[in-house]
């Protein structure tokens, strides 16, 4: 067990533990810490607390100090320098003719390094670009290629639901999302309906999947053979959230399907939900492998 505070460096970034070094740090306070990138300023996401050893990545680094007025001034100056660096880098990328798109620029807190984040459809030889940027900024230059999901997180925006992007608001880490999840949740396998702003499968499919897994254990799937109060039949449609089923009864094969609630039927032989090759091929571009 050790006393720690949780610090994050981006709005929806991962939370890292640090030794508070005797300081009492309140939530949302800014602190100066040493990281693998150098000296950085982060925001306290979790105030002083005690964490078990298995949750701590050792050695646990101590914070340097709570941010003071001079540190806040440095942060503001870095923000202005980032705007200038973005404009210069964008111009140089256009002049070089490189097939890449600049997404964001970050100065490390101590100003010793500038990081340029970009997207590109393929590998880019940016050696000359780095030399050109280094000659302008006179500090260490680092270019990092990011994926479309990271780009969406950095830029922000609204999702198909009309709310701010989950990755920007609260998702600390991206999780793999599959076409099978969309099918199990009864969604139309239409690219426009199941992909997010980034063009990949919506992240909410992943964190809602646990609820659907539970419902799938208690709801007959389409194609299942069930016993009802009116006899045996086959499930031709289901609604996992309401529990309502449409069943084609064996005794009335030409009649319209009859509605039953899942609690009123008994499963004789359940069916499996599968994604066929044609569906996978059609949607492979939005599945983040």
How much is the pLDDT for 46? 92
Assigned domain for 170 exists: no
Pair 38, 98 in one domain: no
Pair 80, 31 in one domain: no
Q: What is the CATH number of the domain that holds 254?
A: 2.30.30.30
CA distance 240 to 14: 33
The whole-number average pLDDT for the span 117-132 is: 92
Q: Give the torsion sign (CA, 115, 117, 122, 125).
A: negative
Assigned domain for 34 exists: yes
CA distance 2 to 14: 20
Pair 48, 16 in one domain: yes
How much is the pLDDT for 54? 82
Backbone angles phi, psi at 152, to 5 degrees: -60, -40
pLDDT category, 95, cuts 50, 70, 90? very high
Pair 32, 79 in one domain: no
The whole-number average pLDDT for the span 77-97 is: 95
Q: What is the CATH number of the domain that holds 100?
A: 3.30.300
Assigned domain for 163 exists: no
Pair 90, 51 in one domain: no
CA distance 56 to 19: 10
The 10s digit of each residue's pLDDT in 168-184 is: 888 878 888 999 999 99
Boundary of a domain, candidates 51, 67, 83:
67
Residue 13 pLDDT more than 60? yes
Pair 61, 91 in one domain: no
- HSE at residue 147, side-chain half, CA atoms within 13 A, is 9
How much is the pLDDT for 289? 54
Residue 190 pLDDT more than 60? yes
Query: What is the pLDDT of the chain when averaged over all its residues?
Result: 91
In this structure, the chain runs to a length of 289
Assigned domain for 79 exists: yes
Pair 78, 135 in one domain: yes
Cα 182 to its chain centre, rounded Å, is 16
Query: Would you call the peptide bond into 149 cis, given omega within 30 degrees of 0 as the criterion?
Result: no
Query: For the chain, how many structural domains are there in total?
Result: 3
Pair 99, 62 in one domain: no
Contact 103, 155 (CB under 8 A): yes
Q: Which domain holds residue 43?
A: 2-67
Boundary of a domain, candidates 146, 178, 201:
146
Residue located via tokens 């505070």? 5
CA distance 269 to 22: 63
Residue 196 pLDDT more than 70? yes
The whole-number average pLDDT for the span 248-265 is: 95
Pair 57, 78 in one domain: no
How much is the pLDDT for 288? 65
pLDDT category, 55, cuts 50, 70, 90? confident
**Measured at the alpha carbon of residue 105, what is the angle toward residues 206 and 195, in degrees to the nearest 5?**
25
How much is the pLDDT for 225? 97
Assigned domain for 92 exists: yes
Residue 1 pLDDT more than 60? yes
Assigned domain for 129 exists: yes
Assigned domain for 121 exists: yes
The whole-number average pLDDT for the span 1-28 is: 90
Assigned domain for 157 exists: no
Contact 36, 59 (CB under 8 A): no
Residue 159 pLDDT more than 90? no
Residue 91 pLDDT more than 90? yes
Boundary of a domain, candidates 129, 146, 163:
146
CA distance 33 to 221: 53
């Amino acid at each position: 067990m050790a006393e720690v505070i949780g610090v994050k460096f981006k709005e929806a970034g991962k939370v890292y533990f640090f030794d508070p070094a005797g300081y009492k740090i309140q939530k949302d306070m800014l602190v100066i810490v040493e990281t693998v990138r150098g000296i950085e300023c982060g925001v306290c996401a979790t105030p002083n607390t005690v964490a078990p050893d298995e949750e701590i990545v050792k050695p646990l680094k101590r914070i340097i100090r709570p941010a003071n007025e001079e540190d806040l001034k440095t942060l503001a100056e870095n923000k202005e320098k980032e705007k200038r660096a973005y404009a210069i880098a964008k111009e140089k990328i256009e002049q070089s003719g490189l097939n890449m798109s600049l997404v964001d620029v970050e100065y490390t807190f101590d100003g010793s390094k500038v990081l340029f984040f970009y997207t590109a459809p393929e590998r880019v030889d940016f050696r000359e670009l780095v030399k050109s940027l280094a000659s302008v900024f006179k500090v260490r230059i680092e270019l990092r290629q990011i994926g479309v999901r990271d780009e969406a997180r950095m830029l922000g925006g609204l999702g198909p639901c009309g709310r701010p992007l989950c990755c920007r608001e609260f998702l600390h880490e991206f999780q793999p999302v599959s076409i099978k999840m969309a099918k199990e949740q009864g969604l139309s396998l239409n690219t426009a309906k199941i992909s997010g702003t980034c063009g990949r499968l919506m992240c909410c499919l992943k964190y809602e999947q646990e609820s659907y897994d539970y419902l799938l254990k208690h709801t007959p799937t389409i194609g299942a053979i069930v016993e009802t109060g009116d006899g045996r039949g086959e499930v031709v449609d289901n609604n996992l959230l309401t529990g309502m089923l449409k069943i084609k009864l064996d005794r009335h094969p030409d009649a319209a399907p009859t509605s039953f609630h899942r609690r009123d039927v008994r499963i004789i032989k359940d069916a499996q939900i599968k994604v066929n090759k044609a569906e996978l091929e059609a949607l492979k571009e939005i599945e983040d492998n």
